[in-house]
């Protein structure tokens, strides 16, 4: 059993997805989804433990040896990312029970849960596979189910948002396939480890930089790096609350992981940074993402949209850390991956609570909510503090490493950008806080606190975002070790 853990992590949810669709009743299908998510959570946790104890796990699917068969290759970075996805998935599925009951009709709920499990499976698959074409397959599994999930939103604009995401996502995925094909034609392998061994020999050939370029553009489209982020704000704004919370904390994060995997493991630091001088592209784009997207966020009146733009800015932080190409920088990137998942998940969940009771997350409808929904808004404020980067929150830990990485390379201006970004986060978070606590509530609407089914998952993430901010040694050590493994290239 534990021998086959990497495969079971994927296979069990994959089997449960059609089951959830077929059982036909909302509660039953929820139970199936919850079982799948919690299984994934337990398995991912066990997997991380094992990687920490024994080192890299290599699993040959179906017993076929790597060059022909597909190999799952779980190292610290992949186990960590899989755990993030599974954790958020497990918390969100609890949240979804109440939130989906209101947003989606009874007959569609089983389909929703099936798509949800598929999306989770695809994302975890990307994290643990060691085969580049398999990456594409999992990417499409998660993306296709994500399009469906987003299209389930109440507003009709959810449909156009999903369509837009589908077009851009498919283009991104196709770019990735082209890149993979070009790599294959030069090396004759699809296995990441083999690729890494054979690529240096043919790196002078023009095909490899072209493959690199296609992959970079394809993945950055998926992870919504500015200026390829256009699909994201609408998709996050109009998707059902639970979907937004889940996608915001996982989908783009896994794409960031994929980028790390391609840049460091497959191509290697020497090719990507020294040869292609990737940081010359990534760093300016990240800086612009942080500043421009935070600025755009400040002017939003729809809070979900505001948070979506903030997400694009936060992805800028992760990419900034990675673009340093140093252990500290990549550590900061990986840490922020985890930390941002916690706080953005909490923020979107809090907005889901507001959506549940108020029916809108527009700032002009949120006046006086601090009194009517004290727990929801307190969660929003606390998670917001984390986004700003107040000490003892996870956001601070990310910033601590990011600024260190910048100072280490003498990039004073970039360190300044990180700080300016936090202050802009203060402005857009506080804008909501002021409305909620200083505005006069609408006397016609009697508002109550959100139900426990929504509050408990929200607060789990809020508490986690403090817990891992107060005791960040564990996450920091895992992230540092993962960064070191990535930068060292292959074992």
Give the span between the Cα atoms of 13 and 36, in whole angstroms.
5
Q: Counting contacts by CB under 8 A, is residue 415 touching other proteins?
A: yes
Measured from the CB atom, the residue of 16 and 173 that comes closer to other proteins is 173
3 state SS of 362? strand
How many residues sit in the footprint of other proteins (CB under 8 A)?
60
Q: Counting contacts by CB under 8 A, is residue 108 touching other proteins?
A: no
Where in 17-125 does DSSP place strands (E)?
57-60, 71-74
What's the min distance (Å) between Cβ of 374 and other proteins? 11
Q: Counting contacts by CB under 8 A, is residue 422 touching other proteins?
A: yes
What's the gap between Cα 290 and its chain centre? Answer: 17
Q: Counting contacts by CB under 8 A, is residue 206 touching other proteins?
A: no
What's the min distance (Å) between Cβ of 454 and other proteins? 25
Give the span between the Cα atoms of 484 and 146, in whole angstroms.
32
Residue at token pair 């929003």: 380
Written as six digits, the tokens of 258 are: 């994929």
Measured from the CB atom, the residue of 406 and 454 that comes closer to other proteins is 406
Q: Counting contacts by CB under 8 A, is residue 403 touching other proteins?
A: yes
Q: Counting contacts by CB under 8 A, is residue 292 touching other proteins?
A: no
Distances (CA, A) of 388 to 294, 296, 385, 399, 475: 11, 16, 5, 10, 19
φ, ψ for residue 439 (rounded to 5)? -75, 160
Q: Counting contacts by CB under 8 A, is residue 64 touching other proteins?
A: no
Give the span between the Cα atoms of 361 and 386, in whole angstroms.
21
Give the span between the Cα atoms of 68 and 373, in whole angstroms.
57
The one among 12, 28, 35, 178 contacting other proteins by CB under 8 A: 178
Q: Counting contacts by CB under 8 A, is residue 467 touching other proteins?
A: no
What's the min distance (Å) between Cβ of 323 and other proteins? 19
Going by C-alpha positions, the residue among 183, 451, 201, 483 that lies closest to residue 324 is 483
Question: With contact defined as beta carbons under 8 Å apart, do 8 and 2 qualify?
Answer: no
Q: Counting contacts by CB under 8 A, is residue 416 touching other proteins?
A: yes
Q: Counting contacts by CB under 8 A, is residue 163 touching other proteins?
A: yes
What's the min distance (Å) between Cβ of 2 and other proteins? 30
Q: Counting contacts by CB under 8 A, is residue 262 touching other proteins?
A: no
Please give the angle made by the CA atoms of 33, 152 and 100, to the nearest 5 degrees.
Answer: 50
Measured from the CB atom, the residue of 94 and 464 that comes closer to other proteins is 464
What would you report as the CA-atom Rg of the chain, rounded to the nearest whole angstrom?
Answer: 21
Q: What is the phi-psi region of residue 22: left when phi exceeds 0, alpha when psi lies from -120 to 50, beta otherwise? A: alpha
Q: Counting contacts by CB under 8 A, is residue 149 touching other proteins?
A: no
Measured from the CB atom, the residue of 24 and 391 that comes closer to other proteins is 391
Q: Counting contacts by CB under 8 A, is residue 375 touching other proteins?
A: no
The one among 112, 267, 401, 428 contacting other proteins by CB under 8 A: 401
For residue 232, the tally of other CB atoms under 10 A from its CB is 26
Q: Counting contacts by CB under 8 A, is residue 353 touching other proteins?
A: no
Q: Counting contacts by CB under 8 A, is residue 162 touching other proteins?
A: yes
Measured from the CB atom, the residue of 90 and 347 that comes closer to other proteins is 347
Give the span between the Cα atoms of 312 and 330, in whole angstroms.
18
The one among 420, 451, 463, 467 contacting other proteins by CB under 8 A: 420
- Within 188-206, residue ranges assigned H as helices are 192-202
Binding string to other proteins for residues 129 to 148, with x set by CB under 8 A, is what? ----x--xx--x---x--xx
Question: With contact defined as beta carbons under 8 Å apart, do 245 and 345 qualify?
Answer: yes
Residues lying near other proteins in the complex (CB under 8 A) are found at 68, 133, 136-137, 140, 144, 147-148, 151, 156-157, 159-160, 162-163, 166-167, 170-171, 173-174, 177-178, 181, 184-185, 190, 385, 388-392, 397, 399-401, 403-404, 407-408, 415-416, 419-420, 422-423, 426, 430, 434, 437-438, 469-473, 476-477, 480
């Amino acid at each position: 059993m534990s021998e086959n853990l990497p495969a079971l992590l994927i296979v069990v949810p994959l089997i449960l997805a059609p089951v959830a669709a077929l059982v036909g009743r909302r509660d039953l299908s929820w139970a199936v989804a919850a079982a799948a998510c919690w299984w994934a959570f337990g398995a991912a946790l066990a997997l991380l433990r094992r990687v920490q104890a024994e080192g890299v796990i290599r699993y040959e699917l179906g017993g076929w040896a790597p060059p022909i068969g597909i190999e799952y290759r779980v190292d610290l970075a992949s186990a960590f990312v899989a755990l993030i996805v599974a954790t958020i998935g497990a918390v969100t599925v609890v949240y979804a029970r109440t939130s989906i009951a209101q947003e989606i009709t009874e007959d569609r709920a089983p389909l929703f849960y099936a798509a949800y499990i598929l999306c989770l499976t695809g994302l975890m698959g990307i994290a643990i596979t060691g085969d580049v074409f398999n990456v594409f397959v999992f990417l499409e599994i998660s993306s296709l189910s994500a399009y469906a999930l987003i299209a389930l939103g109440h507003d009709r604009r959810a449909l156009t948002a999903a369509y837009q995401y589908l077009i851009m996502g498919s283009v991104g995925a196709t770019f990735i396939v082209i890149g993979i094909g070009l790599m294959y034609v030069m090396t004759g392998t699809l296995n990441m480890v083999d690729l890494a061994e054979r690529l240096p020999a043919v790196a002078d050939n023009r095909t490899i930089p072209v493959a690199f370029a296609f992959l970079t553009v394809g993945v950055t489209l998926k992870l919504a790096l500015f200026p390829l982020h256009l699909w994201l704000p609408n998709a996050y704004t109009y998707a059902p609350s639970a979907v937004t919370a889940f996608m915001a904390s996982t989908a783009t994060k896994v794409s960031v992981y994929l980028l790390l995997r391609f840049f460091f493991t497959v191509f290697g630091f020497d090719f990507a940074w020294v040869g292609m001088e990737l940081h010359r592209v990534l760093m300016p784009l990240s800086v612009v993402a942080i500043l421009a997207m935070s600025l755009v966020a400040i002017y939003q009146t729809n809070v979900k949209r505001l948070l979506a733009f903030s997400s694009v800015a936060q992805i800028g932080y992760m990419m900034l850390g990675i673009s340093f190409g140093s252990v500290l920088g990549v550590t900061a990137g990986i840490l922020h991956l985890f930390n941002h998942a916690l706080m953005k998940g909490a923020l979107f969940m809090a907005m889901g609570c507001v959506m549940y009771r108020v029916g809108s997350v527009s700032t002009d409808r949120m006046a006086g909510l601090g009194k009517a929904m004290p727990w929801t808004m307190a969660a929003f404020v606390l998670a917001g503090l984390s986004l700003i980067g107040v000490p003892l929150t996870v956001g601070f830990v990310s910033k601590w490493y990011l600024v260190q990485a910048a100072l280490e390379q003498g990039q004073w201006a970039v360190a300044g950008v990180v700080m300016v970004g936090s202050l802009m986060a203060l402005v857009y978070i506080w804008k909501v806080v002021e409305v909620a606590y200083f505005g006069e509530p609408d006397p016609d609407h009697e508002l109550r606190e959100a139900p426990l089914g929504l509050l408990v998952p929200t607060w789990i993430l809020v508490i986690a975002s403090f817990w891992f901010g107060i005791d960040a040694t564990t996450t920091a050590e895992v992230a540092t070790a993962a960064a070191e493994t990535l930068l060292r290239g292959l074992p």
